[in-house]
Structure 1
Amino acid sequence: MTRAVEQGGGTRASAPGGPLWVVVPAYQEQARIGDTLAALADQTDRDFTLVVVDNGSTDGTADVVERFAADAPFPVRLLHEPCKGVGAAVDTGFRYAIAHGALLLARTDADCLPQPGWVAAARAGLAGGAGLVCGAIRARRDEHGPLGRAGFRLLVFLAASFGRLRPAHRRTGGYLAPYRMHAGNNMAVTAELYQACGGMPRRPSPTDRTFLNRVRRTTSAISHRRDMVVENSTRRLRAYGIRRTAAWYLDRGAGTLTEDPR
């Protein structure tokens, strides 16, 4: 079922690169999504349409979104995707946006805090000729102290290093661009490329690596921007511990634990 909640002004046709839509998948995020929505409302570039895809929440996630939409500084659409898994939720949001005129797409998650220049950086990257733009992720400061944030940085570094060294990711495998890890909660892609590469795999997490490799087989126009910053939740680190979180990032799966600790 799709339900649209729409407030605020439309997207200007003169925006560089065309209309931009932001997609946020959400599951059981009543306690957190308000902060994410506030961070989006605080963007320096608010010339976008927001799509929140509720992935079968049984809490008040949808209610929080609807209350926000009433006074939002941009149009808000609330979709409901019954097929469980972040991949299905993201794919539904992106394809809905494309069907309604989006040429540029950006994504973050409902437990993340995009910094104020996030949308502007994503738009600049795509308008500058990139098909996929990846940004930097940092640990949320309100979840951990310096030690926890340092642990998160280490895990990201290890996962990125593993990805570059992994034989399956070498360019001899038909890839047009070298491997460089990107976080699904901080990415932007053109609608044209999203459709051309086949889109996000419709399954539970992890999906980001598969999507990136689909893009790498389609184009070399991938860029990375340090000014496109999202503060990432570290609750997987708390739920799994360092060893199991490292195994998950290294593509070993969640084991006996849930793939989405929410």
Structure 2
Amino acid sequence: MTRTAPAPVPAAAAAAAPAAQGTAPVPAVHPLWVVVPAHQEAARLPGTLDALAAQTDRDFTLVVVDNASTDGTARLARRFAKRAPFPVHVVTEPEKGVGSAVDTGFRYALAYGAAALARTDADCLPHPGWAAAARAALGSGAGLVCGRVVARADEHGPLGRAAFRLLVSLAALFGRIRPAHRRRHGYLAPYRMHAGNNMAITAHLYQQVGGMPRRPSPTDRLFLNRVRRHTSAVTRERRMVVGNSTRRLRAYGLLGTARWYLDKGPGRHREDPR
């Protein structure tokens, strides 16, 4: 099933379900909804969609958020919907920025009654047990689940993947030792490595914290800290694995990518590495 709709107005999205191009809203079938923001991802989106179709747990609804794309991203998502093993909704968010796209997708799902929300990105490859691990972690009492990211095997060789592992480890260490992240600043949970392209959260908690910051990347650390101020139920689930694109490493180089992951911005590079 595919439903194409403009993005709901963020402030009102959770209050009333948006209609899909003149059709009446239908109730959500599955309590878990997966959101995939996508900007100019015609080349990589099919791989992400196929990885979602190959999940061991496919009892979810997918929302693809076309974020101001001009390359046929939305068309590919609609084509996939015709063969998908789960319901697929395609919505649009004209305001470019991953934060806006994610928030629009999550609030769209909330408007249809989603109880649990998961996210990956349109250049990522969730491993087959990803959705099952997210559902199990949320079902065990987690409010926010942070998954594990590894480098995609099809974009870099062994050295590139090793460099990516090093960068992720450095970013995690930096987050833990950063003075601003210490619990004396009002945080209820210790800092955990949080990749926005591999996360799950309960609908209730997402609304409690005010949603994803509607801004361009990076948004992950800001969102995590919003959650840490509200609950201690932040967990890391190692079985929730996503293959992460390494194209930023190719575009920025090792030092430039390290700067990005350490929250120092893109430097002389553009925020979008394509």
- TM-score, L = length of structure 2: 0.90
Counterparts of 1:15-30 in structure 2, within 5 Å, are 19-30=31-42
- Contact 2:192/2:236 (8 A) holds in 1: no
Q: Distance in 2 between matches of 1:121 and 1:91?
A: 22
> Aligned match of 2:181 in 163, 169, 191?
169
Residue in 2 that maps onto 1:107: 119
Q: Distance in 2 between matches of 1:241 and 1:229?
A: 24
Task: In structure 2, list runs of 5 or more residues that go unmatched.
Answer: 1-5, 8-18
CA RMSD of aligned residues (A): 1.4
Q: 2:3: which partner in 1?
A: none
> Contact 1:30/1:60 (CA < 8 Å) preserved in 2?
yes
Measured after TM superposition, the shift of residue 31 of structure 1 is 0.6
Shift of 1:217: 0.2
Check conservation: 1:152, 1:234, Cα contact below 8 A: yes
CA contact (8 A) 2:149 2:242 kept: yes
Instruction: Show structure 1 runs of 4+ deviating over 2 A.
Output: 1-6
Q: Deviations over 1:52-80 (max 9, x none)?
A: 00100010111110110011110000011
Q: What's the TM-score, normalizing by structure 1?
A: 0.94
Which residue number in structure 1 is paired with residue 254 of structure 2? 242
Cα offset for 1:255?
A: 2.2
Q: Is the 8 A contact 1:4 1:78 kept in 2?
A: no
Query: How much has 1:4 moved relative to structure 2?
Result: 4.7
1:51 aligns with 2:73: no
Q: Say which SS state the counterpart of residue 25 (structure 1) adopts.
A: strand
> Deviation string for 1:175-234 (max 9, x for gaps)?
000111110000000000001011110000000000000000000001111110000000
**Alignment correspondent of 1:223:** 235
1:1-262 matches, within 5 Å, as 1-2=6-7, 4=20, 11-12=29-30, 19-262=31-274
Deviations 1:77-133 (A, max 9, x none): 001101110000000000110110100000000000000000000000001100001
Aligned residue number for residue 16 of structure 1: none
Which residue matches 1:15? none
